[in-house]
A = this chain, B = another copy of it.
Amino acid sequence: MPDIIKECQAAWTAVREKSPLVHNITNYVTVNDVANIELAMGASPIMADDENEAADIASIAGAVVINIGTLNSRTIKSMMKAGKAANEKKIPVVFDPVGAGASALRNETTEKLLKGVKFAVIRGNVSEISYIAGVSANTKGVDVSDSDKQRDKLSIAKTVAEKYGCTTAITGEVDVITDGDRSVEIRNGTAELSRVTGTGCMTTGLLGGFAAVSEPFAAAVCAVASMGIAGERSLEKHGKAGTGSFHIGLIDEISLMNGEIFIERAKINEL
């Protein structure tokens, strides 16, 4: 068994034992699912985005998650303050650049955050990570454009990992994760995950929980593979019922998951 699988198993045990506080500044579309999936994994989520408390809350958290899904001028300031406060205390910060490449505001904010905050992990789809890598992307709203699907994901992820000194995860049909040193691909998941809003945000939420109890690369691998496994298991139970039931099943499966289920199901290949 590769080391990374053992690290993921340990991360599952640790998150349930330690119940880390995860501070999320995220979007109002998927925030309920992010809170519920973090509770389902055993973490303790808090959502606080006013600039007068963002730094206070970040300072007592085990990890901070910043997601620009519905950013606005009010919360951008809070993201910066939370990120900086976490950096000062060596609390890991996870970044989800939702829709980077799709509007000037998202691009500028992404750049501002990348300059002002040191991230432990960046997770996005191939369009978003391509934008950060400086490869010209063809973002279509918050989903991936068809032309972007054909890119060389490992080389793009490595560019970002090296440029920003962080673990980078590109999620999609096949997920690619690298910290510049170690790299894996993950072949869990199902196409239905793209028919529910926020499965990316939820993955980043899980990543926050794991980052509070393990090092960034293992946290990213564990979060991304766990979401894929949850998708497969939910589809087995609810596939014929429709996407509403499949969505609820994702939370169910994370609440039932543990190191054993993870080992049995994970399809992780070192690259």
**CB-CB < 8 A to A252: which residues of B?**
241-245
B-facing mask of A17-31, CB < 8 A → 1, else 0?
000010100011111
Give residues 166-201 of A contacting B (CB, 8 Å). 194-198
Q: Count identical subunits in the complex.
A: 3
A163 to chain B, nearest CB (A): 25
In Å, the complex CA distance between A103 and B46 comes to 12
Query: Is the beta-carbon distance between B247 and A36 smaller than 8 angstroms?
Result: yes
Interface size range on A against B: 35 or more
In Å, the complex CA distance between A196 and B29 comes to 18
Answer yes or no: A45 CB below 8 A from chain B CBs. yes
Answer yes or no: A102 CB below 8 A from chain B CBs. yes
A255 to chain B, nearest CB (A): 4
**CB-CB < 8 A to A271: which residues of B?**
none
18 extra A-B contacts, CB within 8 A, seeds A36-B196, A47-B69, A74-B74: A28-B47, A29-B35, A30-B32, A32-B32, A35-B197, A36-B197, A39-B196, A40-B243, A40-B244, A46-B142, A48-B99, A52-B104, A53-B105, A195-B255, A242-B252, A244-B255, A245-B248, A245-B249
